[in-house]
Amino acid sequence: MIDRRLRSRARRRRAAFFGLTLLTSGLASFLFEDILSANGLSPLEGAGIALFFGLFTWIAGAFWTAVAGFVIRLAGGDPRVISAAEAAGLTVRNRVALVMPVYNEDPDRVFAGIDAVWTSLAGEPEQAAFDLFVLSDTRKPDIAAAEEAAWSALVARHGAGGRIFYRRRAENTGRKAGNIADFVRRWGGAYEHMIVLDADSVMTGHALATLARLMDAHPEVGIIQTAPLPAGRDTLFARMVQFAARLNGPMLSSGLAYWQLGESNYWGHNAILRLAPFARSCGLPRLPGGAPLGGEILSHDFVEAAFMRRAGFQVWLLADLEGSWEEVPSNIIDFAARDRRWAQGNLQHSNVIPMRGLHWLSRLHMFTGILSYATSPIWFAVLILSSILTCEAALHPHHYFQPGMYTLFPSWPDYRDGEIDFLLSGTIAVLLLPKLLGFTLALIKPALRRGFGGTVRLMASLLLEQLFSILLAPPMMVFHSTFVVSTLAGKPVTWNAQERGDRGVGLLEALWRHKWHMLLGIAWGAAILLIAPKFIWWMTPVLAGLLLSAPLTALSSRAGVGRFARRCGLLLTPEELAPPRELALLRECLHRAEHAVRPALPAPAADTFHDAVPPPASLSMDAAPAVYVSVRGAFAGAFRSAVTTLAGTRRAPLSR
């Protein structure tokens, strides 16, 4: 009965969401086609309409997700989804493993975060149900030695012998996913649930206990994903990302949970997983072919969520749980480098989508993950097409009188001014309204408004962040387009450790990294000025972003500039004005580590810390067979399911 009600609710909500999204993009595309076809439609213009429809569908989906989240937040919550409030009065009944995979990370930052998490967890009445594992894949001997020393000091400081464990693998087979799979095989049988943390994750003890309580209360759920907020960085770029995410992230998460319900996604960290079905059903197969699109699955989280759902367990996004944080890259270059890895990992999902038995929404998650990068070359193509069409119109102006024909009246071109104005204003609204909705939520909640520095500072911060986003979009468009093309051309990415900390980028490095962006802006702008100078004003935001990419990257990577903005009251977040105890403790631990005297340590051997790990309690975890249906069949099945949802026809309840 519960599953039947959930199915009925999912049909109604998804019918509303997808119906409004497609209606919005269809109306915009109809207006665009009407404008272009006023004086005849060329093949290039027809291609532009198709690309426009794809892009507008993408932004319309984000728009309606924001609207749903705004209504939910305004109403005080969504009573039809799993919420943190359900955990009140419950207790943790089963053992939980906190696992943190690390790979050549800064040991000071890793163990400062663990210290903050463990200290917070110690204040929970059920803290004895939790153990913590540091799962090291570190290849550098000096970092490995520092990890072992930091682990020993942490255990001694907290008296956590037999509670906090450390293991380093001899071979990092399968990268992060293989690291976690090794833990599941060797020790997963001792625990009911596993909470996965990244090296930069921080969670409160209350958030960890809430996840465990909810999993105990919902045996039909396989994964609960929190919505971590970025925090802790000081550069101007990172503070802009933190501000935007803090302002809009909770609203967007509520909107996602509204229509995804029990078919939500897993983002790879700050989430709890049920270990037995994970071990039984979520082993990653090796994709056919070689890298970059074949071989080992890099972006494992979407795939594991899809396999968990295929096994009959629900996956939920817990949008209202506070106390979950992560860090972001401190500059545009490192941000793009992370996106390069994610782009290849997401594009690999084109080989996962046709796998047999996946839920249609799981396929959609992977498809939208691909589109999150593929929309950049589509946008690039739309801009190029519009430039070509404009230059073509300038080179071949309209003939008011046909050559060789005598007529008294000229042939006037047909302009659709009303449609143009309506489409332009509608596009601006779809793009900007989500941020205005987040701004509105902050304004009407006094405590939140004060957390952003008050009305005036919040408004100034929003304008600054919006200007930055406009200028950042063109170079990121070119970055992502390059990533997609290079991946499809067969060039795999090197999967290195992520740069962390407030790393600044010098002007020379920025000029080198952005040289092609700036040259593209110069050539593009010169061509338009030469051929169609009146069009240059429409292209100014794109050209300015390309031409200013290097100085923008260098300036925004400075921690001093970010701190100056903070002193001016700009880009403030509630976590900066009133830091939670866990984030404050993280800062204290990092400060203490910076001034510590470290003796030289011998490099430890891998897999030899028999006193650093508990006795094995294994679970069998084999790779799921990669059984495929045809690509046509996979998308046809997903299409039929979507149509069924939109039509509202009755379906059987979820089976377990």
Mean pLDDT of 263-275: 96
Mean pLDDT of 620-639: 63
Please, which pLDDT band fits residue 593 given cuts at 50, 70 and 90? confident
Q: Render pLDDT for 347-394 as a digit per residue (tens, 0 to 9).
A: 999 999 999 999 999 999 999 999 999 999 999 988 888 888 788 777
In 3D, which of 220, 228, 250, 229 has the Cα closest to residue 315? Answer: 220
pLDDT at 385: 84
In 3D, which of 340, 319, 339 has the Cα closest to residue 328? Answer: 339
What's the rounded Cα separation, in Å, for the pair 369 and 390? 32
pLDDT at 651: 38
Give the burial string for 76-87 (b: 16+ CB within 10 Å, else e): eebeebbbbeeb
Question: From the CB of residue 499, how many other CB atoms can be counted at a distance below 10 Å?
Answer: 15
- Answer yes or no: is pLDDT of 75 > 70: yes
Least confident segment among 323-332, 399-408, 476-485? 399-408
Mean pLDDT of 115-125: 94
3-class secondary-structure state, position 347: helix
- Answer yes or no: is pLDDT of 42 > 90: no
Mean pLDDT taken over the chain: 87
Half-sphere exposure of 394 (CA within 13 A, CB side): 16
Regarding predicted confidence, which is higher, 246 or 388? 246
- Answer yes or no: is pLDDT of 241 > 90: yes
Indicate left, alpha or beta for 394 from its phi (over 0: left) and psi (-120 to 50: alpha): alpha
- Answer yes or no: is pLDDT of 652 > 60: no
Please, which pLDDT band fits residue 412 given cuts at 50, 70 and 90? very low
- Answer yes or no: is pLDDT of 99 > 80: yes
What's the rounded Cα separation, in Å, for the pair 631 and 353? 8
Please, which pLDDT band fits residue 655 given cuts at 50, 70 and 90? very low
Question: For a pLDDT cut of 90, what percent of the chain falls above it?
Answer: 65
- Answer yes or no: is pLDDT of 406 > 90: no
Could you tell me the strand order of the sheet in which 202-203 lies? Answer: 202-203, 324-326, 229-230
Please, which pLDDT band fits residue 470 given cuts at 50, 70 and 90? very high
Q: Render pLDDT for 204-223 as a digit per residue (tens, 0 to 9).
A: 999 999 999 999 999 999 99
CA distances from 350 to 9, 169, 303, 370, 468 (A): 29, 31, 11, 8, 33
214, 262 Cβ separation under 8 angstroms: no
- Answer yes or no: is pLDDT of 492 > 90: no
